[in-house]
Structure 1
Amino acid sequence: MQEFQHKAFNELFDLSGKVAVVTGGANGIGKATALRLAEAGANIAIADLKLEDAQAAVKDIEALGVKALAVQCNILKDDDLVAMVDTVVAEFGTVNVLINNAGGGGGGRENPDTASVDDIRRDFELNVFSGWRLSQLCAPHMKKSGYGSIVFTTSMSSVNKSPNMSGYAGSKAAVNHMVANLAHDFGPEVRVNAVGPGATRTDALKTVLTPEIEKKMLANTPIKRLGEADDIAGAMLYFAAPISTWVSGQTIFVNGGGVQTLD
């Protein structure tokens, strides 16, 4: 039986020398997460569709004293995913942490009377298939390195019931269950978890948020404010860091204690 070893507090969040890939890491929750991981000592690869935005994020990350790399990547293209992982490994030698943050869809725009099957398929390609594929590509490097953590961004929509959200909500619900299964597939060397943001002030939320919707959201939220990107980044750091080495297959919702919907 392995003897329990008490670790110092600073060791529990220490990612010094680790390599973290953050998809959709140029802005919003992705960038906030990248900065938080960098503060913990990790070298960061920002994979984003917009290279200029990724390069700007890299400058902010490097200012924290770690190494950083910007890689242009369309998560819908398998060749881009393969090339991105190859580039990161060539630059840093391995991958220890993968934040599957990039995704899309939703916004109450999926009325089944007007949406096409291609619209719904795209939700699953963005939110499920790309993350599964990146996990498949990164897990061998994690196992070889001796340290691995994969974190998906899911959504409150995965457990809420809202009109015109069936494709997006369905894809995020699939993420939750996929995470629980991948934890078995990749364990014990690699942990797999998910963070489900509630209503968080991002560019995506701005496109659908009205004063009326915000008022209703806050009425159902014990902590009377919307989330900020840093709120979500803290949970991402928890799953990425050694403090959670006995946590896998879990989804945690960071939502101010409430249930926020767009209807």
Structure 2
Amino acid sequence: MRLISLPATLSIALAAAIEPPEGHPWLAPGPNDYRVPCPMLNTLSNHQFLPRDGRNITKDKVVSAMSSALNFNESLGALMFDMAIVANPEPNATFFTLYQLNRHNVLEHDSSLSRSDTFFGNNHVFNESIFNETKAYWTGEILDANMLANSKVARQLSSKAFNPNYTFTSTIEGFSLGEVSAPIVAFGDLQAATVNRTLVEYFFRNERLPTELGWSTRTEIINIDIISRLTQIISNASSLITTSEAVVSSPRRDLHAGIY
């Protein structure tokens, strides 16, 4: 295995367990296993927190997986299930499959950070070119809200410019904000709203929990208030309107200010 050079900021994490979560070794999906555009759901299936084949995913399984792998509380895990179950077209469905989550504009949407738009073909397999677009805006070893938000906005602009079927509703915006904040929730500093870039890149590329890099499941329980706070931070950082006017030393500027 090629050794990864870690930034100094990860040094204190190396004392943590570096083995896969107990009872949940990573295994790549087989040819008949379902996978989805969401790298975290794929990761949970690859570690068998969720069914490895991506089928028959019930509320109990989602709640258990989110709790065991990421320390989400029960109500948040149940909410995640309720958001996903709409992808199953069967009336009164009690489960969904990862394949069903590939349906365009249900939960899957244009301008993913790591997948191609449906218009261009496969919407659920990791796309290196798309991910390189995203990473261009991750300009430091520690990703902050501005870097993550910049990559989100850039991907939307690219999709809008080149995809004639580009669709991005206010509902999709809510999903997108949650997705962009997810690396912080899973691997980062909740208070500072930052996350180590090395962990995030490893996760996206491998669809694997980054235990080999020193990460372990956080001890703090994640609830809806934490998720809401982080998505609002990403939302604020995504705005292209600043809170104050830049100061420009120019007589012409003063003249224009008088006119307008």
- Scaled to the shorter chain, the TM-score interval is under 0.3
Higher percent of residues as strand: 1
TM-score by length of 1: 0.26
Question: Quick one: higher RCO (CA 8 Å, sep 6+), 1 or 2?
Answer: 2
Q: Which has the larger radius of gyration?
A: 2
**What TM-score do the two structures reach when normalised by structure 2?**
0.26
